[in-house]
Chains A and B, each alone.
Chain A
Amino acid sequence: MFKRMLAGGLIAGFGAGLFAAVLHFAFVQELILHAELYETGELVHFDTHAVGDESEAVSHDGHDHSHGDADGADTSALTRNVMTVLFTGLIYAGYGLILAAAYQVAGLFGRQISLQQGILWGIAGFACFQLAPAMGLAPELPGTTAADITLRQIWWLGTVLATGAGLALIGYGRSLPFVVGGAVLLALPHVIGAPVLDEFHGIAPPELAGEFSARVLGVGLAVWALLGWLTARFAAPEAA
């Protein structure tokens, strides 16, 4: 059981990650590169002033936008893309393990995960890890100025946990109070609200940012659905 969970989760994760990498280069990478032309100032959309406040633009919270890879300064495109494939595989391997563990928890409660249910679980995973966080913190193009990174990470994590618990209660709860509790958990992070700045500082055109967010979420949905299926195929608890 342990071996199946570990190996199956990894296989499913790397498989889905490979699919994610293909979709990434088909749909997403070109928008990242395009946005970086605005980030570095090579392209200029409008003369950028903070909207809503005449005071000096917000400090960048000490974070440095001159990181090498992002600007393509000190690494080749090949290295950069290999890293992207590697880390895309890795992140989905992590998700695959989490999903495999979750299937086993369901197994402890006597639930079998069929391949079809696996797809639903995958979509739920997408909702937890990408869709719900994106409702407060839209996927960012490079060059986006946003609130403090630590605060955003805390909100991200809280949203993932609350959404996961909320969906589990709604999906598997046996009575109305469970469903209501689940709905409250789903809503909670958005009632609290994600950490955002008071002003807008976008340097890339909104069309580009909108397209980017939509594609990121579309790719995420497709990959997670596959991940759920693969994890059910390779790591779901076997019938006792």
Chain B
Amino acid sequence: MTQVIAKSTGTQTKALSILFVAIVGAGIVFFSGHAQSAALHDAAHDMRHATGFPCH
């Protein structure tokens, strides 16, 4: 019983940390690839064109 609980908590922690890393990664991709603020757009401009993001 204790073991089962320990195992499921372990999986939960794992799942949470996976979710966290995935969200950070997606956040970075959104921020550098899609965010439309002018300064960000200008700085990321060439990279956006060169990696196929819809740019402007």
Interface of A toward B, CB cutoff 8 Å: 1-2, 5-6, 9, 20, 24, 28-29, 32, 63-65, 67-70, 75, 80-81, 83-84, 86-88, 90-91, 93-102, 104-105, 108, 129-130, 133-134, 137, 139-142, 146, 149, 152-153, 156, 216-217, 219-220
Interface of B toward A, CB cutoff 8 Å: 11, 14-15, 17-19, 21-22, 24-29, 32-34, 36, 38, 41-56
Give every chain B residue within 8 A of A29 (Cβ-Cβ).
46, 50
Closest to B11 in A: A108
Dominant secondary structure of chain A at its interface with chain B: helix
A95 to chain B, nearest CB (A): 7
Give every chain A residue within 8 A of B48 (Cβ-Cβ).
87
Dominant secondary structure of chain B at its interface with chain A: helix
Give every chain B residue within 8 A of A69 (Cβ-Cβ).
42-43, 45
Give every chain A residue within 8 A of B19 (Cβ-Cβ).
101
A184 to B8, CA, bound (A): 34
Given A84-B46, A87-B47, A156-B54: A9 and B21 interface contact (C-beta under 8 Å): yes
A150 to B24, CA, bound (A): 22
